[in-house]
Structure 1
Amino acid sequence: MAGNLGAADAVRDPRGFALKFYTEEGNYDLVGNNTPVFFIKDAIKFPDFIHTQKRDPYTGSTEADNVWDFWSLSPESTHQVTWLFGDRGIPASYRHMDGFGSHTFQWQNEAGEVFWVKYHFKTDQGIRNLTQAEADRLAGEDPDSHQRDLREAIERGEFPSWTVQVQIMPEADAATYRFNPFDLTKVWPHADYPPVEIGKLELNRNPENIFAEVEQSIFSPAHFVPGIGPSPDKMLQGRLFAYGDAHRYRVGINADHLPVNRPHATVARTNSRDGHLYDGRHKGAKNYEPNSFGGPFQTDRPLWSATAVSGVTGNHPAPVHAEDDDFVQAGNLYRLMDEDGKERLIANLAGFIAKVSRDDIVERAIDNFRRADGDYGKRLEAAVQALRG
């Protein structure tokens, strides 16, 4: 198994993770975040969302106006933003945060029955977080603190572990469930689909060479093995294509030939053999399919079950259930917090919103939180006004 984690910083951003499972039937990649939801539900918005988080083309700096303009015009982001600016928005270390596959995936058993699943990785070290002030200080003094903490813990033999759980939904439930089960901005409440423990994830070895084993590693949600596949989740559908494009651009067309990316128990079946990184292993074998020279051949064995979807199962139309809107789960999350947690959330949000230059963006942003919970919006409005004067 290989893993890839980003560097720690004081910017509130979901901590991403990626896992590569070297199975007997090929490589299976699972990518996710330390939050169970995301800002948007449709991949068509993803490039624009990323633009708001990066440097403005005119100022060359990240701009609060851009961030809050996009979020306020994308009310589905309210749930994730509440997660992000709450206590769990800045983990104290990689060892002390949970992980989530976030997307909905398909599992199919030997009997041909189809289920929808969500992955959860619950830290066995306990949850620990940083305040914004602590993170600001640490980012300036020791921006590599998270990477160092993880490496040194493994060197000491204190191998961090996570309990792996899945939520399992029968295929037929999707069409009538009270929330769209393929909406990345929503969770499945545990009371509806209780998590089932299936194993442990343990990190017990550090990379011998960061460049070879981490920087050159590639992960794609399109790398499945038989019995596991995608769902109608629109963000996942977009990532099936986007991640492959990204690693071919970043590492090269033959990235799958590198040791960290090659299957361990099977032969890599790929027709990409020209240019950068190719190792020559296929010699003069044909590099197209179909062919009459003995392979390679496209297998007719499906990896997962094709599923017909329509209506709310296959789209994001007007909700068919009163709870399936952009604000219900954000409000539920706010109401789960204790009073101190609410105060920190309000202070974190207000400090960022107060940097916005336009009143209409400020009001639109606050209104989304007001629609999630009246107290949430009222307190946030007062905190922003106090900062803006």
Structure 2
Amino acid sequence: MSTENHTAAGPLTTETGAPVSSNNQSEAAGPGGPLLVQDQVLLAKLAHFNRERIPERVVHARGAGAYGTFTATADVTAYTRAAFLSAPGKQTETFLRFSTVAGNLGSADAVRDPRGFALKFYTEEGNYDLVGNNTPVFFIRDAIKFPDFIHTQKRDPYTGSQEADNVWDFWGLSPESTHQVTWLFGDRGIPASYRHMDGFGSHTYQWVNAAGEQFWVKYHFKTDQGIENLTAEDAAVLAGQDPDSHQRDLREAIERGEYPSWTVQVQIMPAAEAATYRFNPFDLTKVWPNADYPRITIGKLELNRNPDNVFAEVEQSAFSPANFVPGIGPSPDKMLQGRLFAYGDAHRYRVGINADQLPVNRPHATTARNGNRDGLGYDGRHAGAKNYEPNSFGGPAETGRPLWAPVHVSGPTGEWETPHHAEDDDFVQAGDLYRLMTADERDRLIANLAGFIAKVTRDDIADRAIANFAKADADFGARLTEAVAKLR
């Protein structure tokens, strides 16, 4: 990879290094004549301009990012053999991308939407990607429903606009969404900035120690700046005045040396307890109550360097939850299982088959060594090395040691519903969340939900949506029914 200084003084050149005689007048057939096809400076410049953008992400298109450092602060070797977690004080370079979910690349930051929290650890054992959100739960529990869900959040193919009918029709028919919707329309649905919100791994992951013992874990990133949110009214004003508000806030805070940080915590469940836990521990629509599995502080995450180029380092950044390191692996979470494929596939489509070797994505503390060659964007980094394994020319060889431990499975294959545990249902945790809120928080939650549900054009869709909240808490449903009726 070239490290030339492209800002140094010198002649303006073409992409192939030839000097450019004029960057202000195109070559023409006489002073007033048409332009000439032989003006390759003009044609190459226009052709490059036409190709400056790659397809935007279907979800999480709008985002901002920064580099930072993760510092381990606790000894967790009893739970995982991951090298970057091997000792207190150990530091690992990171890149964190924040994003909204539903909006297009040019949409505003200050909107009611979950926020992506995608973190890349550049460890000495390879890159580890932890792809989560600023909420501990999600709308659905099975990846097969994800395209349908996102279609309801994006523009309707006929009207070209987001439609309340589509959103609430899907949510009403998908009662497992009730918990996440309650989060989304509460105060934390519009963070004041990326710095003033928590992050979560959301999914359940596997940790395995050097002895092969398995544990299930959930990640929490608690903002050290404190939680700050925007009301719906303040957000509407800010989104119009400064659509780039969150991106600007992050960049300028780092420029000022006010480096945002998060305290990193985990909940740890011994693998043997999963089968009899009162909730399905792999259900993404549910949390593990802290009373059952208290959070343990394991580190500190600090962001301290802005990207030099937003396109190269934020837009082309690629994250996949399939990027594990020794000692960390997947769980049977059905949403996670789908994302193990979908995230990497999205980036192969958007950025190309060699996306993982762009500077922001490639390993920083180790080297990728395998037989993959060629394709769009290939830079010849392997030189004359053999592209097969095994070989007798000193090439890389398999280790024979899996990154994570095997998970026991049994029973016939089939299109099974997610297994239910003793206290599983779609409403209990949404009701718990509602009852944890203060009176003022409940008032704003009801107002936010009612304002959106009131836009639904069909009574049956609105009634079904409200009924789900009533099942979570009777007062919740009654107040929402009244508030919607006043607006419709």
Q: Are 2:431 and 2:472, in contact at CA under 8 Å, matched by a contact in 1?
A: yes
Residue 71 of structure 1 pairs with residue 171 of structure 2: yes
Residue 4 of structure 1 pairs with residue 97 of structure 2: yes
Q: Using the alignment, how far apart are the partners of 2:355 and 2:425 within structure 1?
A: 41
Q: Using the alignment, how far apart are the partners of 2:206 and 2:184 within structure 1?
A: 27
Q: 1:271 to 1:64 in 2, by over 3 A?
A: farther
Q: Which digits, 9 at most, give the CA deviation of each residue in 1:93-129, with x for residues without a partner?
A: 1110000000000000112110000000000010000
Which residue pairs with 1:126 in the alignment? 226
Residue 139 of structure 1 pairs with residue 239 of structure 2: yes
Q: Which sits farther off after the overlay, 182-191 or 134-143?
A: 134-143
Q: Which digits, 9 at most, give the CA deviation of each residue in 1:314-346, with x for residues without a partner?
A: 96446331x310000000000000111001000
Q: Say which of 398, 405, 421 aligns to 1:320.
A: 421
Q: Say which of 442, 452, 463 aligns to 1:352.
A: 452
Q: Say which of 24, 49, 56 aligns to 2:149.
A: 49
Q: Using the alignment, how far apart are the partners of 2:363 and 2:157 within structure 1?
A: 41
Which residue pairs with 1:279 in the alignment? 379
Q: Which sits farther off after the overlay, 256-265 or 244-253?
A: 256-265
What pairs with 1:7-86 in structure 2 (closer than 5 Å)? 8-86=108-186
Among the aligned pairs, what percent are the same residue?
81
Which residue pairs with 2:276 in the alignment? 176
Q: Using the alignment, how far apart are the partners of 2:365 and 2:270 within structure 1?
A: 32
Q: Using the alignment, how far apart are the partners of 1:246 and 1:100 within structure 2?
A: 22
Structure 2, unaligned stretches of length 5 or more? Answer: 1-93, 101-107
Which residue pairs with 1:104 in the alignment? 204
SS at match of 2:341: helix
Q: Using the alignment, how far apart are the partners of 1:113 and 1:264 within structure 2?
A: 29
Residue 342 of structure 1 pairs with residue 435 of structure 2: no
Which residue pairs with 1:387 in the alignment? 487
Q: Using the alignment, how far apart are the partners of 2:226 and 2:331 within structure 1?
A: 31
User: CA RMSD of the aligned region, Å?
Assistant: 1.7
Q: Which sits farther off after the overlay, 122-131 or 206-215?
A: 206-215
Letter of the 1:203 partner, please give it: L
What pairs with 1:241-252 in structure 2 (closer than 5 Å)? 241-252=341-352
What pairs with 1:154-233 in structure 2 (closer than 5 Å)? 154-233=254-333
Q: CA deviation at 1:290?
A: 5.2
Q: Are 1:254 and 1:272, in contact at CA under 8 Å, matched by a contact in 2?
A: no
Instruction: Find runs of 4+ consecutive structure 1 residues off by over 6 angstroms.
Output: none
Q: Using the alignment, how far apart are the partners of 1:210 and 1:318 within structure 2?
A: 43
Larger radius of gyration: 2
Q: Using the alignment, how far apart are the partners of 1:103 and 1:274 within structure 2?
A: 34
Q: 1:270 to 1:249 in 2, by over 3 A?
A: farther
Q: Say which of 91, 94, 105 aligns to 2:194.
A: 94
Residue 363 of structure 1 pairs with residue 363 of structure 2: no
Q: Which digits, 9 at most, give the CA deviation of each residue in 1:127-166, with x for residues without a partner?
A: 0000011111111110101111111111111111100000
Letter of the 1:3 partner, please give it: L
Letter of the 1:349 partner, please give it: L
Q: CA deviation at 1:279?
A: 1.0
SS at match of 2:207: strand
Q: 1:360 to 1:291 in 2, by over 3 A?
A: farther
Q: Which sits farther off after the overlay, 80-89 or 277-286?
A: 277-286
SS at match of 2:221: strand
Q: Using the alignment, how far apart are the partners of 1:265 and 1:318 within structure 2?
A: 40
Q: Using the alignment, how far apart are the partners of 1:277 and 1:14 within structure 2?
A: 33
Q: Which sits farther off after the overlay, 295-304 or 217-226?
A: 295-304
Structure 1, unaligned stretches of length 5 or more? Answer: none
Q: Using the alignment, how far apart are the partners of 1:12 and 1:197 within structure 2?
A: 29
TM-score, length-scaled by structure 2? 0.76
SS at match of 1:203: strand
SS at match of 2:379: coil
SS at match of 2:139: coil
Q: Are 1:287 and 1:296, in contact at CA under 8 Å, matched by a contact in 2?
A: no
Q: Are 2:110 and 2:245, in contact at CA under 8 Å, matched by a contact in 1?
A: no
SS at match of 2:304: coil
Number of equivalences: 385
What pairs with 1:261-280 in structure 2 (closer than 5 Å)? 261-280=361-380
TM-score, length-scaled by structure 1? 0.95
Q: Using the alignment, how far apart are the partners of 2:331 and 2:419 within structure 1?
A: 20
Q: CA deviation at 1:191?
A: 0.2
Q: 1:19 to 1:318 in 2, by over 3 A?
A: closer
Q: Using the alignment, how far apart are the partners of 1:250 and 1:258 within structure 2?
A: 13
Letter of the 1:247 partner, please give it: H
Q: Using the alignment, how far apart are the partners of 1:136 and 1:85 within structure 2?
A: 15
